[in-house]
């Protein structure tokens, strides 16, 4: 149940703040993902990393900046966010970027005030 962890679990930030979300996977996977889940909308893929290399940037605004220092850790750096960025941010990992089964972390619930 703790294969993918995320911190913090809840975050409230102002529009001028800078914060970072952290994800760690303990499954020996090589691919990691960031998703955004807003109320009443499907999960939206934001970024994909495969072997620490970004392979997808799904038209995400530059106020979201991902970082993958190694295959076990993934960060999402946030700055000058907007209230509409309030959502649940989910990290996931998979054995490889070609693996279809993704394991999700519990998410960070972000509120931008």
Partner 1 sequence: RKEVEQDPGPFNVPEGATVAFNCTYSNSASQSFFWYRQDCRKEPKLLMSVYSSGNEDGRFTAQLNRASQYISLLIRDSKLSDSATYLCVVNKSPNAGGTSYGKLTFGQGTILTVHP
Site string for partner 1, 16-35 (x = CB under 8 A): ---------------x----
CB atoms within 10 A of CB 27: 12
Handedness of CA 27, 33, 34, 38 (dihedral sign): negative
Write phi, then psi, for 60 (nearest 5 degrees): -90, 135
Site string for partner 1, 36-75 (x = CB under 8 A): ----xxxx-x--x-x----xx-------------------
Residue holding tokens 């070609």?
A: 98
For the bound state, the minimum distance from the C-beta of residue 54 to partner 1, rounded and expressed in Å, comes to 11
Question: Could you tell me which residues come within 8 angstroms of residue 42 by beta carbon, excluding any fewer than 6 positions away?
Answer: none
Q: Does 10 bind partner 1 (CB under 8 A)?
A: no
Site string for partner 1, 72-91 (x = CB under 8 A): ------------------x-
**How is residue 113 written in tokens?**
């005030």
92-111 residues in contact with partner 1 (CB under 8 A) are 97-102, 104-107
DSSP annotation of 18 reads E
Site for partner 1, rule CB under 8 A: 31, 40-43, 45, 48, 50, 55-56, 90, 97-102, 104-107
């Amino acid at each position: 149940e703790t294969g993918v962890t995320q911190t913090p679990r809840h975050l409230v930030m102002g529009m001028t703040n800078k914060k970072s979300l952290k994800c760690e996977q303990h499954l020996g996977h090589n691919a990691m993902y960031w998703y955004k889940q807003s109320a009443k909308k499907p999960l939206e893929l934001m970024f994909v990393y495969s072997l620490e290399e970004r392979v997808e940037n799904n038209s995400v605004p530059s106020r979201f900046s991902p970082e993958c220092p190694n295959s076990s850790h993934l960060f999402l750096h946030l700055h000058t966010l907007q209230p509409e960025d309030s959502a649940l941010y989910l990290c996931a990992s998979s054995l490889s970027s070609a693996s279809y089964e993704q394991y999700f972390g519990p998410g960070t619930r972000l509120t931008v005030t």
